[in-house]
Structure 1
């Protein structure tokens, strides 16, 4: 749930809108960073699902989207929530730790390998760190914006429970590559490609 893009993207979008209304520039950096992260995650997943391009030695089939987006959003949300610079930096670290927990949670579910969650977390962490680099880059919006952002983020998965981004990526990969079935990890053990989990 805490790494679901249906939660994270609406939350980030509301806070970016608050930054735009405050005539600051940090929201553009954040939007750009999340766009790059999203494209890298999507590209890595499409490459494997559609064409079987991955790194067998590392059991890498693409960046973990949950890990990447969590590390790109939660440090920012936690940072924005606090008024003082010192406490903000501590909260940003807390946000990175929360994203680390989200990344780790993908392992018991067999959704990703270690290489995928670590690389995904690092990708998102670099993005959020670049946005937060420098003194006071994010003026805190009023409390109502933070409440609205989190409320919107929580409502989206409840309002659209049927939307599954992984299935959408699989469908896109098959369309682009022209394959009847997506590739999965069985290609590295000599098996026939079958529907991924």
Structure 2
């Protein structure tokens, strides 16, 4: 279990958002303006969908009980979106078969992050699968566009240094993104208590938030 707890951290916002920023910097440094724009649009759209589904649940109890769905897994989405693209760009000067092999490795990494979210009981199957699918749409969509563009020329030292910087963030304390999201949802919804999975699954929507602040505090870490 400790292995999975450590591994799942690589899909967190601290590491994967750093990776997304690095991808953007590589494209800008390589003067691949069109690719940089598409990357920002696709990845930003993926993040927005994750945010919307989580805000909708925490603030209003919007989810799918039959599928135990309370929001798209951000860890799975980010890992599946970022890692295939990073490896694709790292292998830009390699033969195409090696670039595609790198993409497959990145997809495998994203799937493993998704599995880790199940093992640590952070998400349901539907939330993990939807995160992986959304992330794959982002990365494969970007790569399909990149295949039709002139490849960016990025200094290998810039790539090496930035990769070390990205993965060194895995030692940093995780950003309290769930707490920020909860605060935002409650502010927008005008509610005092967040909707939480355990009571939402058993109660009708109007009664799905906990009346116990201590329970709320404990369960805020779920997603």
TM-score of the pair, normalised by structure 1: 0.92
Query: In structure 2, which of residues 33, 38, 47 is the aligned counterpart of residue 38 of structure 1?
Result: 47
Cα pair 2:30 2:153 within 8 Å, conserved? no
Change in Cα spacing, 1:150 to 1:11, as seen in structure 2 (3 Å) is same
1:152, distance to aligned residue in structure 2 (A) = 2.4
Q: Which residue of 2 aligns with 1:181?
A: 193
Query: In structure 2, which of residues 6, 13, 17 is the aligned counterpart of residue 9 of structure 1?
Result: 17
Counterparts of 1:21 and 1:40, CA distance in 2: 28
- Encode CA deviations 1:82-132: one digit per residue, 9 max, x unaligned: 122110011101100100000010012111000000000000100110100
- Encode CA deviations 1:120-162: one digit per residue, 9 max, x unaligned: 0000100110100053645352222222322222344545x16
Q: Which residue of 1 aligns with 2:3?
A: none
1:57, distance to aligned residue in structure 2 (A) = 0.6
Which one is further off, 98-107 or 180-189?
180-189
Counterparts of 1:111 and 1:170, CA distance in 2: 16
Query: In structure 1, which of residues 73, 84, 87 is the aligned counterpart of residue 82 of structure 2?
Result: 73
Which has the greater radius of gyration? 2
Query: In structure 2, which of residues 162, 167, 182 is the aligned counterpart of residue 154 of structure 1?
Result: 167
Q: Which residue of 2 aligns with 1:51?
A: 60
- For structure 2, list consecutive stretches of 5 or more residues without a partner in the other structure: 1-8, 211-215
Q: Which residue of 2 aligns with 1:88?
A: 99
- After superposing on structure 2, the runs of 4+ consecutive aligned residues of structure 1 that deviate more than 4 Å are none
Higher helix content, 1 or 2: 2
CA RMSD of aligned residues (A): 1.7
5 Å-filtered alignment, 1:116-127, equals 116-127=127-138
TM-score of the pair, normalised by structure 2: 0.82
Count of residues in Structure 1 that have an aligned counterpart in Structure 2: 196
5 Å-filtered alignment, 1:11-30, equals 11-24=19-32, 25-30=34-39
Q: Which residue of 2 aligns with 1:98?
A: 109
Note if 1:193 corresponds to 2:209.
Answer: yes
Cα pair 1:80 1:140 within 8 Å, conserved? no
